[in-house]
Structure formats: C-alpha cells, structure tokens
A and B are shown apart, each in its own frame.
Chain A
C-alpha cells in the first residue's frame, strides 16, 4: 500500500497530507525541496543536481542525503516514481 509522491498534498511549511491514508507528516526544508522537485517532474539525477547547486554541498554528501530521504519516504508509504 503506497501513495505516489505526486499525490501528496503539501504546503510551504512542509506539512504533508497523504490523501489515500489520511496521515499527516512534517518535512524539514530539505525534504520539502526534494519532494517539490520530484513532484515537478524532474528525474532523480536532475533533482540531485538542483539540490547540489541550491544547498551548496558536495555531490557525495548530497547523493547520500538524497538516497536516505528516498528510503525514508518509502518507509512512510510513499511511492517514488
């Protein structure tokens, strides 16, 4: 049972509502940015590149954090496309 990331309803403060499960979540600013980028239709690689440029981190760190977030998202019941 998982909800496509594109279906999640969220606001600018990182409050997330899963419309299928009825659960609510809180994202930190980085998580919110990742979800927004993926919801906009960017590929994982393109979203990662964007993160590197916006957050001024090295690619290795960004890659690790990005992967950690996606793993966590799957555990929360979200489907990453």
Chain B
C-alpha cells in the first residue's frame, strides 16, 4: 500500500480548524506517494492551498442537501479521480454517511465509521445515559427544543451555562439575554435541539483514539489543553499519562463498542476531584497530526484498518511531556483556483499541480474567467458576487 488513493474532507485551518488538513499531513508522512482528493464545502478552505495539501480538490454539496445529492457528486468524482478510501471529518457528514454504508461499499469505497446506534449513543443529548452506563461523571446536560424550555432549564440549573449546538459551537452564557441569543442562533444555524450543560471548573483534557468496533482501543493519545482560545478551542496541549483518564476513556469506548476515530473531551472537576465527560466527537480532532510528529500516526493506522478490516497491532502511547502550540501561517492561492472551485453551475476538479503552474508570477493574469453556463459571464455584462 505505497500509493493509496484517499479522499479527505474538512480542510479548513483558520480560527476554528477542521481535522482534514492535519489528516492529509499525517498521511503524507506515512505515504509520500499517496493520491489525496480533497472534498471541500468552501473554496476558501485554507488546506486546499497548503503546500502539502491534496492533489486534487472537488467542491461538495452540503450534507444537509441529502444522500442523493451527496452520492451523485461522489459518483462524478470517482469517475474523474478514483479513490479507495474515504475519511470524512465533519460531524454532519458522518451523520449522513453512517446511513450510506451499503452505497459506499457498492462504489468500492472503504471507510471505518461507527454505526447509527453508536453514533446516536454518544450524541450530546444522550451523554447522561451513556455516562450512567459507564459509571463516569457528566455535568448536568439537557437538550432543549425551544426558547421557553431553555429559559426554564436555566432557571433550574443556574448560570453560568454552556450552550452547545448538536454538531458545532459552544458558548458560555451568564445571563438570560445571552442565553436567549445563543439558543436562537443555534436553532437558526443547526436546528433543535440545543444542549445546555452546567459549567465545570477545572483543567480540560482531550483523548484522541481509534476504536476497533468490539470495545477495544487500538491507539490512545491524551493531552491537557494548555492554551485555550476565547471559543474554547485548544491552541496548545501537552501529552499526559494518567491511568484514571485512560480508564475513563476505556469505559466509554467499551460501552459504545466504538468503531473508528474519536475524540473524548473531559474536564477535571476541581470541586469533585474527578474527570467529567464533556463530549465525544466521532472523528479525529484538528490536532491529529501532533502525535504523528511523535511517530504515532493515527490516520495511517486508520487507512490500515480500512484496508485489512481487522484489528491492527496497538499503537504505542505518546510519552508524557510532549507539547504542541498551534501556529497559523498564510497560504497563497490564485484567483483562477478560486474561480474553478466557486463555479456553482457545473463542478470541476481543482488540480493543484496544474493550477499552481497557472499561478506562477510570470503567467499572464487569467482573465476573463468563465463563469459557467448560468449566463453570468463577463462578456454579457452580468456578474454575481460569490457568497464567501
């Protein structure tokens, strides 16, 4: 398996980074000759333009467009750029793809994902039941389906509270007005329910791993977050090795019989002196390339698991005391690349090697840009603004 062909989504690495670009970097470390197809939802996903990024990029319809649209686009992509493996990295995608296992298999696409039941059991609104089953602590967590219910729950639990979307976004609120605004925003962006969770004081820990689908863990890397952004994102972390945290994770994965990548978010509750479960993400985190730098390559192990579909040898643990600090850099693109990915009337691949030739400083400016077949071209005097 020296040149695997792998499709990866979620390539943005801005303020709120997605895991895809890190996964691509990790895959390149192990498989320098891999052919990597980037599946993107926005032409400005920064990982598209990274030096070690994908070989070719295709725009995708949002998962909320439904299975038919998603599969149709996938079929067109497979015709142009066949791939053997698919690594989805966005929660909303995974929610869709767990219903499409058969359709993906028919297309010869290998994945390593949880089933519908596993995915549902780790959903934010089911955390209390899961925690009870495993004997782990969880902060008081309540799903709310309308504003009135949110206000009633807040009155019962007290402030401050964490307000979370089903898939993304988390915000701490301390007043009724802030709660109203946060819940309203989440409903409009992601729909109901929103999740209210009692705030816990203490340090935050994350565990990255791979479940074998039988209750076992193939690899685990645990960190303490050392730098946290205003949005609660870990901008830095240090590897730790605490048997109590390992046991905490083992219990959860055993109960879920989790299959595939996961990230467990926990806090050490200072008041209770014990770990509490904050959430479980059904994918690798954005810092997945950090253990790869230490020689523990989770994405490469995932490809191996997809390939042989059997339990590989356990990955070694990351020794405690290694840390990462997130380092943001600018990546350069060319308007021609943006045009190729922004054309909505017909989709086309953005071949990164070819497009870079066109973006060389000596090349003539590639105007006019063909805008597709919707009549909006420079020649007939109409234009439209892309919504980025």
Contact with A along B200-228 (1 / 0, CB 8 A): 00010100000000000000000110100
Contacts of A23 in B (CB 8 A): 203, 224
Interface residues of chain B, those whose CB is within 8 Å of chain A, are: 203, 205, 223-224, 226, 238-245, 268, 273-274, 320-321
A residues 1-24 with Cβ under 8 Å of B? 1, 9, 17, 19-23
Interface pair B238/A22, CB less than 8 Å apart: yes
Residue of A17, A22, A23 with most partner-chain B CB within 10 A: A22
Given A1-B274, A9-B321, A17-B321, A22 contacting B244 (CB threshold 8 A): no
Interface pair B274/A22, CB less than 8 Å apart: no
Q: How far is the CB of A12 from chain B (nearest CB, A)?
A: 16
- Per the bound structure, the CA–CA distance linking A17 and B321 in Å amounts to 7
Interface pair B274/A21, CB less than 8 Å apart: no
Given A1-B244, A9-B321, A22 contacting B224 (CB threshold 8 A): yes
Interface pair B241/A19, CB less than 8 Å apart: yes
Can you pick out 29 interface pairs between chain A and chain B where the beta carbons lie within 8 Å of each other?
A: A1-B244, A1-B268, A9-B320, A9-B321, A17-B321, A19-B240, A19-B241, A19-B242, A19-B321, A20-B241, A20-B242, A20-B243, A20-B244, A20-B245, A20-B320, A21-B203, A21-B224, A21-B240, A21-B268, A22-B203, A22-B205, A22-B223, A22-B224, A22-B226, A22-B238, A22-B239, A22-B240, A22-B320, A23-B203
Residue of A1, A17, A23 with most partner-chain B CB within 10 A: A1
Contacts of A19 in B (CB 8 A): 240-242, 320-321
Given A22-B224, A22-B238, A17 contacting B320 (CB threshold 8 A): yes
Number of A-B contacts (CB under 8 A): 36
A residues 29-71 with Cβ under 8 Å of B? none
Contacts of A22 in B (CB 8 A): 203, 205, 223-224, 226, 238-240, 320
Q: How far is the CB of B208 from chain A (nearest CB, A)?
A: 15
Contacts of A17 in B (CB 8 A): 320-321
Residue of B nearest to A1 (CB): B273
- Per the bound structure, the CA–CA distance linking A17 and B245 in Å amounts to 17
Residue of B203, B240, B245, B274 with most partner-chain A CB within 10 A: B240
Q: A21-B240, A23-B224 are in contact. List 8 more A-B contacts (CB 8 A).
A: A1-B244, A17-B320, A19-B240, A19-B241, A19-B320, A22-B223, A22-B320, A23-B203
- Per the bound structure, the CA–CA distance linking A12 and B223 in Å amounts to 25
Given A1-B268, A1-B273, A1-B274, A21 contacting B242 (CB threshold 8 A): yes
Contacts of A21 in B (CB 8 A): 203, 224, 240, 242, 268
- Per the bound structure, the CA–CA distance linking A1 and B239 in Å amounts to 18
Contacts of B244 in A (CB 8 A): 1, 20
